[in-house]
Amino acid sequence: MKLSTRDAAAFLRQPDPKVAGVLIWGEDAMRVAQKRKELIARLAGPEAEAEMRLSRLPAADLRRDGAALLDAVKAQGFFPGPRVVFVEGATDGLAPLFDTALKDWVPGDAQILATAGQLAAKSALRKLFEARPLVVSIGIYDDPPGPEEIAAMLAAAAVPEPDLDGRTLLAELARALDPGALRMTVEKLGLYKHGDASPTTAADITAVAPRSTEAETDALLAVVAEGRAPQIAALLRRLYAQGTTPVSLCIVALRHF
């Protein structure tokens, strides 16, 4: 089934354990990866990988061994608890493999989680996950993070509840920054507020918020890390216009990577 933005947010916060499979797709690879990470933790628990209840299957491996998906779904885990089979970089060419695995899925099998890039409405993969019962398709769009998503970021970084001015400033930053840069800022805010349980103020946020050049640099690093090559040139032009030099960018990149 296809979920609306609001229903998708509710599902990601509290996923249905009876669902056989979930497809998360979108152009922003960082946001897709973050939603995938959160969903795996909620489906199988934070120790799923350590307890070998999470199986990772790169899409390239499935193209060479189509039976691997169904084998992983049906495999019996050594540790008790729910299991997840995660396929990264799924494409329309793998739709028949997902169709077979979902048809054979029964309660007790591992839940299937697939991530993909931007998918058109006629995509075979989208159609499969949107049409089949007990299967969910979630599109992650490039809209600025809303209040619920910002609140989730703050909670994950252990940032105290912001006051009214703090919430207003965070909403402005969400519109101004790339999602990856916003997440980095919130993580810095968590470190800044460590040991301080008082409400987060606009002054706290301003202390860690990137200046214009820093924001563009953070956005560039996020784009490079995600392999979004078409967006690099525009960011570089803006940085060079602000006086940033190639040498300084190389230094920042070396520190980051």
Domain identity same for 161 and 125: no
What is the number of residues in the chain?
A: 257
Domain identity same for 33 and 57: yes
Domain identity same for 95 and 197: no
Residue type, 169: L
Last residue of a domain, one of 139, 162, 191: 139
Domain identity same for 174 and 210: yes
Listed in sequence order, the DSSP H helices in the chain are: 5-13, 29-44, 59-64, 67-74, 95-104, 124-131, 147-156, 164-176, 179-192, 202-208, 212-225, 232-241, 246-256
Last residue of a domain, one of 111, 139, 167: 139
> For position 213, what pLDDT does the model report?
54
> For position 93, what pLDDT does the model report?
94
CATH number at residue 39: 3.40.50.300
> For position 253, what pLDDT does the model report?
78
Last residue of a domain, one of 79, 114, 139: 139
pTM of the model: 0.67
SS3 content of the chain, % helix, strand, coil (to 5): 55, 10, 35
Domain identity same for 132 and 229: no
The total number of structural domains in the chain stands at: 2
Residue 210: name the closest of 180, 237, 240 by CA.
Answer: 180
Torsion, Cα 95 97 98 99, to 10 degrees, reads: 80
Domain identity same for 54 and 85: yes
Domain identity same for 76 and 172: no
Per-residue pLDDT of the chain (257 residues; tens, 9 = 90+): 888 777 888 898 899 989 999 999 998 887 888 889 889 999 998 888 888 899 999 898 898 898 999 999 998 877 888 999 999 999 999 999 999 999 999 999 999 999 999 999 899 999 999 998 899 999 988 777 888 889 988 998 999 999 999 999 898 888 877 777 788 899 999 999 999 999 999 999 988 887 655 667 777 888 888 788 878 887 887 777 666 778 777 877 777 77
Domain identity same for 132 and 168: no
Q: Which domain holds residue 43?
A: 5-139
> For position 5, what pLDDT does the model report?
77
Domain identity same for 110 and 203: no
Domain identity same for 117 and 220: no
Domain identity same for 63 and 176: no
Domain identity same for 200 and 236: yes
